[in-house]
């Protein structure tokens, strides 16, 4: 199993960011390989797109945990591919952490090349989120930590 994880901080409220990532209909807006995403049941979403040069159309598990502000996904047809997203509050905004798991037999290239490609995909995902949230409510300047001062815990 190949495991890849990445995170990025954003200077928007976690409520505003959660509204974007927790909306199944908006997945295609920030997931680079997706063209289309639409709810297909209580914990399922229909996805269409292209990954590694292969088109896909799949119904996938998408568990949205409002209490923990996390998403969990995967699809039986994806040979064990799965992942999660966790949103956390920061004094200066919020952080998104994404974890991807791909079984060794699901890789189309070497493990090292696959990790590099997945990391690149994570960065593009974070870049797309950054573009989407430019219009969302920012954390007020008075809430940001002052340089040289310890953060409140």
Q: What letter would DSSP give residue 6?
A: E
- Residue 53 counted as domain residue: no
pLDDT tens digits for range 85-128: 999 999 989 999 999 988 766 555 677 887 888 899 999 999 99
- Residue 121 counted as domain residue: yes
- Residue 105 counted as domain residue: yes
Instruction: Quote the CA–CA distance of 85 and 90 in Å, as a whole number.
Output: 16
CATH of the domain at 132: 3.30.530.20
**Whole-number Cα distances in Å, 69 to 22, 66, 87, 89, 121:** 8, 5, 6, 10, 22
Report how many domains make up the chain.
Answer: 1
- Residue 6 pLDDT: 96
- Residue 74 counted as domain residue: yes
What pTM was computed for the model? 0.81
pLDDT tens digits for range 6-47: 999 998 888 889 999 999 888 999 999 899 999 888 888 998
The residues that bridge with 88 in the sheet, in sequence order, are: 95
- Residue 148 pLDDT: 46
- Residue 109 counted as domain residue: yes
- Residue 153 counted as domain residue: no
- Residue 35 counted as domain residue: no
Residue 14: give the domain boundaries: 2-23+64-138
- Residue 149 counted as domain residue: no
């Amino acid at each position: 199993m190949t495991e890849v994880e990445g995170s990025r901080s954003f200077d928007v409220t976690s409520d505003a960011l959660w509204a974007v990532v927790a909306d199944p209909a908006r997945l295609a807006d920030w997931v680079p390989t997706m063209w289309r995403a639409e709810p297909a049941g209580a914990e399922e979403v229909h996805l269409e797109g292209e990954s590694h040069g292969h088109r896909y159309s799949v119904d996938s598990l998408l568990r949205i945990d409002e209490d923990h502000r996390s998403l969990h996904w995967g699809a039986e047809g994806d040979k064990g591919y799965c992942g999660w997203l966790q949103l956390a509050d920061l004094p200066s905004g919020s952080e998104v952490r994404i974890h991807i798991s791909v079984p060794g037999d699901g890789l189309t290239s070497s493990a090292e090349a696959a990790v590099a490609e997945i990391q690149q995909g994570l960065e593009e995902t974070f870049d797309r989120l950054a573009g989407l949230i430019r219009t969302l409510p920012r954390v007020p300047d008075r809430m940001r930590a002052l340089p040289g001062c310890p953060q409140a815990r």
